[in-house]
Amino acid sequence: MNEAHMKRAVALADKGMRLGHGGPFGAVVVRDGAVVGEGWNEVLRSKDPTAHAEIVAIRNACRKLGTYDLTGCEIYSSCEPCPMCLGAIYWSRIGRVYFSVNRHDAAGIEFRDEFIYEELAKPFEERELPMVHIPCDGALDVLDAWTNLAGDRTY
C-alpha cells in the first residue's frame, strides 16, 4: 500500500466534487508503483451514470497502456467501489483494491450501494427491476461463433 496514491485518490475526489463534475469519489490505477490512470466521478458533467471514478481511472489506464487487461495493476479508491465499479475491476483483472472510506460511510451521505448488493444476491425473478428471460433462436449460435472466431484470445 502506498499512502501517496491513496492521498491522490482523495485529492481527486475533492477536486471533481468542487468542480461540480459529480460525487466525492476519486481513483488511481497503479502499475509497478507508477500511476497509469486516474479519475474522479464525472456523472454530472458527462451526464453518464457509468462515469464513476474507478471506471474513469480504468478507462484512462487502458488507453495509456493500450490494453483491456490490467493484470499487475492495483487501484486506489477514495471509497469502497460500488457493484458496477467492482465488476469493472474484476473484468480488467486489477489485482488489488485499496479504499479509504467504506460503503456504509457513503450511505451516510445518501450514496446507497447496499440496495444493489442486496438485489444481486436475489434470483432475477425476485429483483425489483423486472428481468425477463426471452430465449431467442440464434442467440446461442452467436456464442458458439465467438468461440470459433476468438481462438485463444480471451478477456
Residue numbers annotated as active site:
54
Closest to 128 measured CA to CA, from 118, 137, 142, 139: 118
Pick from 51, 50, 27: nearest CA to 39? 27
Q: Is 49 helix (H, G, I), strand (E, B) or coil?
A: coil
Please state, in angstroms and rounded to a whole number, the distance separating the CA atoms of residues 112 and 95: 25
Q: Which residues contact 97 (CB under 8 A, 6 or more apart)?
A: 74, 75, 77, 81, 86, 89
